Amino acid sequence: MLPEERYRKLKEYLAAENPVLLDVITEFEVLDKAAYKLGLLDPNETYTSTISWWPMISILGTFSSGKSTFINHYLGKNIQDSGNQAVDDKFTVICYGGMEEPTTLPGLALDADPRFPFYNISEEINKVDPGEGNRVNLYLQLKTLKSPRIKGKILIDSPGFDADIQRNAILRITSHIVEISDLVLVFFDARHPEPGAMRDTLEHLVATTIGHRDANKVLYILNQIDTTAKEDNLEDVIASWQRALSGEGLVSGNFYSIYNEESATPIEDEALRERLKNKKDTDLARIVERMDKVSIERAYRIIKSLEDFAMEIKNEKIPLLQKLLVGWGQKVLWADAATIGVLAAIAGFLQFKFSLFGGLFSTPATSFATLTIAVIALYGIHIKVRSFFAERLAKKWAEKDPSITKAILYNTQWWKPMLGINRQGWQKKIKEQLDLLSARSKSSIRKLNDQFIAPPDMDDSGI
């Protein structure tokens, strides 16, 4: 999808989701144009594709761990089938829609639409299981629902991890969604108090989440704790799961215990019932609070990313690129000088030894033709030298920073002047645009603040 089409679709979608971000998309267009001029982006690329524009909450867990029941309760609508058996073996992406009743679309709707986090996921599946990516509908589905709880965010329900079929593809997708999600809920079933029998499942779940750079976004949830009421051993059950998780390398984390009151096991002991309910209410409120705030956190993060990109280009990319191109230019000039010197020495030797060039400069016409051919030959050698040093330099940066590699190749094309990025006036204009983007991102944050706070008027405050 071309950047212009992506801008248009983002604006259409965000007009209903979060209008404040509409202006930010326009600023991203300016950012992209600056990057095009520097060569940091190809014309078919855009910085808007490097971030997720919707807050994402991923829900992982085993079969019968209560994921679907929790989702239905959170949304206030039975959008997911629930039960003790495996009722859904696909990743379900749930987002806001215009219909009161849930609408289900095939996985292709996600794989082919760059507005969603599973764009081109079929290619990722093919990497671990060749050919399976062509059957993306077996792994993904999209559901839309007109619910205020889901507006402005994306919810992803994963299939249970107990199934052995399609294991590699499921793990590949799981790793992908954990990486790009803003919040990850990992569900366990309290009805199986001996987690040792689920070692394989634990290994995959914890290994997927433990190493993430933002570990605070992962919440581990022990669900259906009402089943512990008969033995009154809630603390023992929690401790058992914590030991199992620590055995897989998780020594700290956000751990919660909840259950669904509508389907809860009857608890006759009033004191015990109240104790479990208080525990559930407290933990559930904390979970829901984190889920509800995801939209706010992501909006600020997107706006901040605009400033981060702009300042990174101004303070890091441009100086680095300038330094690299100066070094490249010096090598080219030295190589050109060496080439001319060697050719001049060879020509002098041939002239001295054999008087080879006497006839070539005998008349004005032959002299002009000779000089023209010499200039063309020297320019051809110059182009080869430019390309040689540029490719060497680009290859050196391919692993370190692909955007710098692109910029090197872009600014060293044969028709580009040697001054290139080093022209001060041109640099100044780009940097002014980037400073303006930084200022506008701060303005967008103030607009976002106005949605949630009402700062005192400066005149009223006496300041």
66 vs 159: CA distance, rounded Å: 12
Task: Please state, for a pLDDT cut of 70, what percent of the chain lies above it.
Answer: 76
Average pLDDT for residues 417-424, to the nearest whole number?
64
Closest of 112, 27, 104 to residue 302, by C-alpha: 27
Predicted model pTM: 0.66
Across 25-34, 87-96, 237-246, 387-396, least confident range: 237-246
Domains contained in the chain, CATH given:
1-50+297-454 (no CATH), 54-266 (3.40.50.300)
Question: Of 231, 236, 239, 222, nearest to 269 (Cα)?
Answer: 231
**pLDDT tens-digit map of 154-183:** 898 887 655 454 556 676 677 777 777 888
> Quick check: 113 and 119 in contact, CB under 8 A?
yes
Residue 260 has pLDDT above 80, yes or no: yes
**157-166, 262-271, 386-395, 409-418: which has the minimum mean pLDDT?**
157-166
- What is the pLDDT at residue 161? 59
pLDDT at 457 over 70: no
Q: Give the pLDDT of residue 286.
A: 93
Give, in degrees to the nearest 5, the angle at Cα 182 between 61 and 214.
90
Termini Cα distance of the chain: 50
Altogether, the residues listed in the chain come to a count of 463
Q: What are phi and psi of 251, to 5 degrees?
A: -100, -10
Section 280-307 average pLDDT: 87
8 Å CB contact between 200 and 167: no
- The winner for highest mean pLDDT among 15-24, 115-124, 243-252 is 15-24
Residues in a beta bridge with 188: 222
Residue at token pair 């890091």: 316
User: Would the pLDDT of 460 be above 60?
Assistant: no
SS3 labels along the chain: CCHHHHHHHHHHHHHHHCCHHHHHHHHHHHHHHHHHHHCCCCCCCCHHHHCCCCCEEEEEECCCCCHHHHHHHHHCCCCCCCCCCCCCCCEEEEEECCCCCCEEEECHHHHCCCCCCCCCHHHHHHHHCCCHHHHHHHCEEEEEECCCCCCCCEEEECCCCCCCCCHHHHHHHHHHHHHHCCEEEEEEECCCCCHHHHHHHHHHHHHHHHCCCCHHHEEEEEECHHHHCCCCCHHHHHHHHHHHHHHCCCCCCEEEECCCHHHCCCCCCHHHHHHHHHHHHHHHHHHHHHHHHHHHHHHHHHHHHHHHHHHHHHHHHHHHHHHHHHHHHHHHHHHHHHHHHHHHHHHHHHHHHHCCCCHHHCCHHHHHHHHHHHHHHHHHHHHHHHHHHHHHHHHHHCCCCHHHHHHHHHHCCCCCCCCHHHCHHHHHHHHHHHHHHHHHHHHHHHHHHHCCCCCCCHHHHCC
- Classify burial at 376, counting beta carbons within 10 Å of its beta carbon; exposed 0-12, middle 13-18, buried 19 or more: exposed
Evaluate if residue 250 carries a pLDDT over 70.
no
Say what the pLDDT of residue 405 is. 95
Nearest to 325 by CA among 222, 444, 426: 426
Count CA atoms closer than 13 A to 66's CA, side-chain side: 26
Pick left, alpha or beta for residue 51 (phi over 0 → left; psi -120 to 50 → alpha; otherwise beta): beta
Q: What pLDDT digit, counting tens, does each position of 430-445 carry? A: 999 999 999 999 888 8
Q: Per residue in 217-255, is it b (16+ CB within 10 Å) or e — as a string?
A: bbbbbbbbbbbbbeeeebeebbebbbebbeebebeebbb
Mean pLDDT of 356-367: 65
Of the candidates 399, 397, 417, the residue with the CA atom closest to the CA atom of residue 408? 397
CA 84 – CA 313 distance, rounded (Å): 53
CB 405 within 8 A of CB 398: yes
Does the pLDDT at position 446 exceed 50? Answer: yes
Instruction: Determine contact, residues 56/180, Cβ cutoff 8 Å.
Output: yes
- What digits encode the pLDDT tens for the residues 51-91? 777 788 989 887 777 888 899 889 888 888 765 544 556 78
Strand partners, 60: 186
